[in-house]
Amino acid sequence: MKKVLLGLALMAPALFVALAAEGPAIPLGLLPVRFPKDNPYTAEKAELGKLLYFDKRLSADGTVSCASCHSPKFAYTDGKAVSDGIKGQRGGRSAPTVINRAYSLAQFWDGRAKALEEQSIGPMANPIEMGNTHDAVVKTLKGVNGYKKLFAKVFGTEAFDINHVAMAIATFERTVLSGNSPYDRYKAGDKKQLSASAVRGMDVYFNKAKCDQCHEGINFTTNAYHNLGVGTDKPNPDDGRFAVTKNAADWGAFKTPTLRDIARTAPYMHDGSLKTLEEVVDYYDKGGLPNKNLDERMKKLNLTAQDKKDLVEFLKSLNGEGW
């Protein structure tokens, strides 16, 4: 085991260090979470981050928390096509799950945040989401004696700033993990974990439909960006990744989400336009929606009705535990 962990640490980017022995418990099927060198894991920091995550006082009017759009009730989404911010304002994208975000650097559908630390405080200053300022957030928290004591315990100072807030919330978010699914247990040798339909669906997934071209690895995603055609027929399509990179090749492209707990995070796609897994499978089966930048991997799959049913059953087997 020590050799395995050493190998993982050596493979990690220089920015990160593997902290499996000190970090959160890792469910079956996942790898140790790597924490930034400048924001190492401690249980106290994760607990502080959890308190902040659920605290509506971080928003301008005290009505919205991180959990308002990323709730455990909905597998760390909100069950809506697009999310509601302060004063009932609505954004244009569906809230992605926080589950297993520890296994990706860039965050948000368009990857505009370089890490969870940046992501965690972005919505606070977004006028549509939490409508606050970072200075106001810190001022509010410093007015709470309990928080001052916790920040002093975790970071050694009551003179904390928004960066400390970011580090605490990001640490908590890196503990929101999902593994030990029926699929993981099946792969570990317990062949009774998957139904005959799900086993057939696994074959469709990996061989006939080749879903793993984009949804691969332990977290069922390459963390890359692709144009699937979703929403490109609208009068004013979402630019997607292009808004960040200004690269024409990124127009209409969005980050490939994890498929972990996918059956619990409806509706689907960046705009929440597909309500069920059956609709998602049908969309891929027809090859997406043609547009000027459709990903070359988006082609008609010619799946049978049985293939589709089995594929959905396999996707349901990715519902896990740990969060």
Active site residue 47: no
Interval 246-259 mean pLDDT: 98
- What predicted TM-score, i.e. pTM, was given to this entire model? 0.92
Quote the pLDDT of residue 23: 83
Quote the pLDDT of residue 9: 36
Return the higher-pLDDT residue of 302 and 15. 302
Quote the pLDDT of residue 14: 36
Interval 76-103 mean pLDDT: 95
Domain segments of the chain as ranges: 2-173, 182-316
Quote the pLDDT of residue 161: 98
- Per-residue pLDDT tens over the stretch 15-61: 334 444 478 899 999 999 999 999 999 999 999 999 999 999 999 99
Give the model's confidence band at 10: pLDDT under 50 very low, under 70 low, under 90 confident, else very high.
very low
For residue 95, the tally of other CB atoms under 10 A from its CB is 25
Percent of the chain scored above 90 by pLDDT?
A: 91
Give the model's confidence band at 323: pLDDT under 50 very low, under 70 low, under 90 confident, else very high.
confident
> For residues 101 and 259, what is the distance between their CA atoms, to the nearest angstrom?
12
Q: Tell me which amino acid residue 253 is.
A: A
Taking the alpha carbons at both ends of the chain, their separation in whole angstroms is 24
- Whether 1 has a pLDDT exceeding 70, the answer reads no
Q: 17 pairs with which residues across the strands?
A: 35
- Whether 274 has a pLDDT exceeding 60, the answer reads yes
Interval 261-274 mean pLDDT: 98
Selection from 318, 85, 205, 243 nearest residue 255 by Cα: 243
Omega of the bond prior to 257 within 30 degrees of 0, cis?
no
- Per-residue pLDDT tens over the stretch 194-213: 999 999 999 999 999 999 99
Catalytic residue among 129, 158, 278, 321: 129
What mean pLDDT is reported for the chain?
93
Interval 255-279 mean pLDDT: 98
What superfamily in CATH does domain 2-173 come from? Cytochrome c-like domain (1.10.760.10)
Quote the pLDDT of residue 4: 36
Interval 272-287 mean pLDDT: 98
At the second CATH level, the architecture of 182-316 is Orthogonal Bundle (1.10)
Selection from 281, 258, 269 nearest residue 229 by Cα: 269
Interval 113-137 mean pLDDT: 97
Give the model's confidence band at 90: pLDDT under 50 very low, under 70 low, under 90 confident, else very high.
very high
Quote the pLDDT of residue 199: 98
- Per-residue pLDDT tens over the stretch 146-177: 999 999 999 999 999 999 999 999 999 999 99
- Whether 136 has a pLDDT exceeding 80, the answer reads yes
Asked whether the beta carbons of 64 and 139 are under 8 A apart, the reply is: no
182-316 matches 2-173 in CATH topology? yes
* φ, ψ of residue 254 in degrees (nearest 5): -130, 155
Q: Which residues make Cβ contacts (< 8 Å) with residue 93, sequence separation at least 6?
A: 82, 83, 109, 238, 270, 271, 272
Q: 18 pairs with which residues across the strands?
A: 34
